[in-house]
Structure 1
Amino acid sequence: MPGYCAFCYARLSGDLPWCDDCDAELPRNGVACRRCAEPMATLGGGDVCGRCLRRPPAFDAAWVPLRYEEPLVRLVQRFKFSADPRAGTLLVELLIHALGDTAPCGERLIGVPGSWARTRERGFDPVAWLGDALAERWQLPRLAALRQRDSSSQRGLDRAARRRNVKDAFGIEGPLPESVLLLDDVMTTGATLDALALACRRAGARHIGVVALARTPPDRI
């Protein structure tokens, strides 16, 4: 409702679509690996997690400002499973508020293409919808990646199984510019974005960043 907080429905006094109290309670991903954005208890002696040191992803850096916890879980589910455009608009506003009016990197924005089966079931591709909105706000040209094969849902799979599930699932027509920015709504282990980043490297990209609204904490994977 216009004039009311999108989360608690309190009257608003500022320009944001959520109130100061709800803003203070958002689950920010403040201490996280610079490479994969996984939440960390402490950065210790560096800003890259041990997993990225052992097996670096195909992308170079990640910007994921929030953790996938309430109230974001309900908001994302309303958007993805109920096709709620207001929820989608709020997701875009949360990301722009966290990252700014300029994309953090990249000459092109490339979203993770949705599963054929789930896109038919939902009637739309959530990441494509977010990508269109963000490309317009960031004034960043958008490119479409291709699904070379459909993959089953990643839900309930461990890290290794997630990597196998999306291996060689994506393709993109090159040549790409040197720097690109990949987009997903929620980043769980990073396996999907890693697979898309590999496809982008094969198409000529050399510097690859990723952006998502929220990162799933390790204890929820």
Structure 2
Amino acid sequence: MTCTQTGFLYQSPIKELVHDFKFNASSRAGTLLAELMLTKRPSQLGAALLAVPMHSKRARERGFNQAQWLAEQLSQRTGLPLIHAKCHKLVVSQRTLNRRERAANLRGAFSLAGPLPKHVTLIDDVVTTGATGNALAAVARQAGAERVDMWAVARTPLGNS
């Protein structure tokens, strides 16, 4: 990835908002997170937004894909088109994995139909090691993107990955 933009650290109260949104499907928390993201908007957004995809089984279990939901809200508010990728690999939860394990866990997980615009911005809720963004960015570059940035609500504090 070229640039990662997060406006907040994944700590209280942002952590509680993300948790409520992600695990309780709180649209109220999600709307607030999208609005907070817009207050820390990247100076260069690119020509399209691309949500980090979730395997269909995991999305059914959770009830929705939080990155997709955020990307839809941001697409509406910025006027940028939304591109859809697919996750074909049911990966184990990234939360307990270190940087190397996360990268291996995501190898071959994503696909994307091209051609893409030259500059694409990935959307996710939380960035920890960047492994998910890097894996999706590689697929986006294969589909024609020359620059791929990441825009997320928060990042975990250094030393917590």
TM-score of the superposed pair, with normalisation by structure 2:
0.96
Report the Cα offset of residue 116 of structure 1: 2.5
1:137 aligns with 2:77: yes
Report the Cα offset of residue 148 of structure 1: 2.4
Tell me which of the two structures has the higher relative contact order, counting C-alpha pairs closer than 8 angstroms and 6 or more residues apart.
2
Structure-1 separation of matches of 2:122 and 2:65: 15
Q: 1:122 aligns with which of 37, 52, 62?
A: 62
TM-score of the superposed pair, with normalisation by structure 1:
0.70
2:158 aligned partner = 218
SS in 1 for 2:120: strand
2:144 aligned partner = 204
User: Contact 2:54–2:86 at 8 Å: present in 1 too?
Assistant: no
More helix by share: 2
Q: 1:154 aligns with which of 63, 69, 94?
A: 94
Report the Cα offset of residue 170 of structure 1: 0.6
Report the Cα offset of residue 125 of structure 1: 1.1
Show the 5 A alignment for 1:1-221: 59-99=1-41, 104-221=44-161
| Unaligned ranges ≥5, structure 2 | none
Amino acid of the structure 1 residue aligned with 2:156: T
Decide which structure has the larger Cα Rg and report it.
Answer: 1
| Unaligned ranges ≥5, structure 1 | 1-58
Matched residue pairs, number? 161
Percent identity for Structure 1 against Structure 2? 42
Structure-2 separation of matches of 1:66 and 1:130: 16
Output the aligned Cα RMSD.
Answer: 1.2
